[in-house]
Amino acid sequence: MKYYSTNKQVPLSSLKDAVLKGLADDNGLYMPEQIPQLSKEFFATIQTKTLQEISLEVATALFGEDVDASSLRSIVYDTLSFDIPLVKVTDDIYSLELFHGPTLAFKDVGARFLSRMMQHFTRDEPEQSGARRSQKREANVLVATSGDTGSAVANGFLGVDGIMVTVLYPKGLVSKIQESQFTTLGKNVRALEVDGTFDDCQRLVKQAFLDKELNRRLTLTSANSINLARFIPQAFYYFWGYAQMPKDSEVVASVPSGNFGNLMAGLLAKRMGLPIKHFVAANNANDVFLKYLQTASFSPRPSIATIANAMDVGNPSNFARIMDLYNGDHAKVVADISGYRYGDAQIAEVMKRVFTEVKYMLDPHGACAYEGLREQLQSDKPAKGFFIETAHPAKFKETVDEILGADIAIPEKLQAFMKGQKQTIPMSACFEDFKTYLLG
Ligand SMILES: *Cc1c(COP(=O)(O)O)cnc(C)c1O
């Protein structure tokens, strides 16, 4: 399989190059040249299969030409070494709980898969027998985070030989718990506390990839959802969620969205044949995608800080992939996706209501997706749906406690991070400073 850039200004790329580069040289995002179709038999028996079996079949359809079967199997099984239960919340709403991984957020899936793919492709270098082994350069993974990406990526790569991870995060804009998950690790993970917003962090990373001098001197790669090996594996759990839904009901999937990598993976699954009837793109106050659905024009703007902070994105990078998938046809996009937007007060109201009425504890991100799904199902009757619960509520303990008047327990896994010593490097939002640091 070859991969093209959404900007179409560079030649096709191999999977290996696309994974190791992250962003194409023309600043576009990689997309698979063909979208494989899964067979009727696959869907006929999907309900009898495990998460890992389903995922391996999907992964084989996409990556089977480029990764040998036994490596791909271990990448998939190793990535998905935790449960992803589908929990019934109301008669027609289910929660696909993607927060049972090491950092308690859905990004564990993409980050773990990506780190294992990168390791596979860097190990893969042919060694010339006899000749002196060429010195392998350390790969530098740069990752901008609004909270959860940093921890998932840092933990996905922690201790992986030959890879240095640099996490950029906006000072004061991520929760203490989130921060502890990538600032206390040490080893091959370093954290830069940027005096700016998430969009500034993302801009610094993008600029680094385009900087000729940096790229001559360092091997830079990205672990943001712009890397195709991070967004594509997220398609696996849409198949798994669908497989567990009651038989014979039409299914709507609702996705709390920021950079839109997660939703994009769902759209890819649908294109591979997964019969999801409709998607909900749930946003917080950062609603540029909803505005696009309403007006057909896309106008990025600076992000606004909200209580669902992992979705505080004003210029979602995967918008380019969605446009590419739909050839920019607005009518087709709105036929598949509906948008909803919730301000902080509404998010809090939803969390309280669902906790009181059905005793289910939502985190602020999942709350947007729950409510978007509930609203959408009123016009999509009698469909049922699942929403993606992207993080454990304890990751946003301060917010959740305040809204629910509770004192929720912090899971063991999170407590372990919080005991570590915070080590960060202060950084301005100016590219020259960042560049000097990387070269230093
Ligand atoms: C990253 C994140 C999101 C948004 O996912 P995208 O793929 O960027 O749209 C939603 N919820 C949580 C908890 C996240 O960490």
How many Å from the N-terminal Cα to the C-terminal Cα in the chain? 38
Residue 256, ligand 1, Cβ within 6 A:
yes
Q: What is the pLDDT of residues 279-300, one digit of tens each?
A: 999 999 999 999 999 999 999 9
CB atoms closer than 10 angstroms to residue 92? 19
Our count of domains for the chain comes to: 1
Asked whether residue 113 is domain-assigned, the answer is no
Asked whether residue 255 is domain-assigned, the answer is yes
Asked whether residue 11 is domain-assigned, the answer is no
Nearest-atom number in ligand 1 for the CA of 365 is 11
- Which pLDDT score is estimated for 96? 98
Please state, in angstroms and rounded to a whole number, the distance separating the CA atoms of residues 373 and 280.
6
Asked whether residue 238 is domain-assigned, the answer is yes
What are the residue numbers of the active site?
107
Please state, in angstroms and rounded to a whole number, the distance separating the CA atoms of residues 25 and 317.
15
Which amino acid residue places its CA nearest to atom 1 of ligand 1?
310
Asked whether residue 145 is domain-assigned, the answer is no
Residue 260, ligand 1, Cβ within 6 A:
yes
- Which pLDDT score is estimated for 224? 73
- Which pLDDT score is estimated for 137? 64
Residue 365, ligand 1, Cβ within 6 A:
yes
Contact present, 150 and 124 (Cβ < 8 Å): no
Strand residues in 304-359 grouped as ranges (E): 337-341
- Which pLDDT score is estimated for 131? 40
d(CA 421, ligand 1 centre) in Å: 26
d(CA 311, ligand 1 centre) in Å: 6
Residue 105, ligand 1, Cβ within 6 A:
yes
Please state, in angstroms and rounded to a whole number, the distance separating the CA atoms of residues 169 and 226.
17
Residue 261, ligand 1, Cβ within 6 A:
yes
Asked whether residue 431 is domain-assigned, the answer is no
Give the number of residues written for the chain. Answer: 440
Whether the bond into 382 is cis, omega within 30 of 0: yes
d(CA 385, ligand 1 centre) in Å: 19
Q: Please give the chain's pLDDT, 440 residues, in tens.
A: 999 999 999 999 999 999 988 889 898 999 999 999 999 999 999 999 999 999 999 999 999 999 999 999 999 999 999 999 999 999 999 999 999 999 999 999 999 999 999 988 887 555 444 444 444 567 899 999 877 788 989 999 998 887 899 999 999 988 888 899 999 999 999 999 999 998 899 899 989 988 999 999 998 887 877 899 999 999 999 999 999 999 989 999 999 999 999 999 999 999 999 999 999 999 999 999 999 999 999 999 998 999 998 899 999 999 999 999 999 999 999 999 999 999 999 999 999 999 999 999 999 999 999 999 999 999 988 999 999 999 999 989 999 999 999 999 999 988 999 899 999 999 999 999 999 999 98
d(CA 149, ligand 1 centre) in Å: 8
Of 148, 174, 225, 362, best ligand 1 pocket probe by most atoms within 8 Å of the beta carbon: 148
d(CA 173, ligand 1 centre) in Å: 15
d(CA 374, ligand 1 centre) in Å: 19
Tokens of 414: 């999170």
Least Cα distance to 27 among 256, 222, 287, 185 occurs for 222
Give the CATH number, domain containing residue 254: 3.40.50.1100
Torsion of CA 386, 390, 392, 398, to 10 degrees: -120
Please state, in angstroms and rounded to a whole number, the distance separating the CA atoms of residues 354 and 358.
6
Asked whether residue 305 is domain-assigned, the answer is yes
Residue-range definition of the domain harbouring residue 351: 86-102+231-408
Asked whether residue 282 is domain-assigned, the answer is yes
Of 175, 311, 317, 351, best ligand 1 pocket probe by most atoms within 8 Å of the beta carbon: 311
Residue 231, ligand 1, Cβ within 6 A:
no
Tokens of 372: 């978007």
Which amino acid residue places its CA nearest to atom 14 of ligand 1?
310
CB atoms closer than 10 angstroms to residue 84? 21
Nearest-atom number in ligand 1 for the CA of 152 is 15
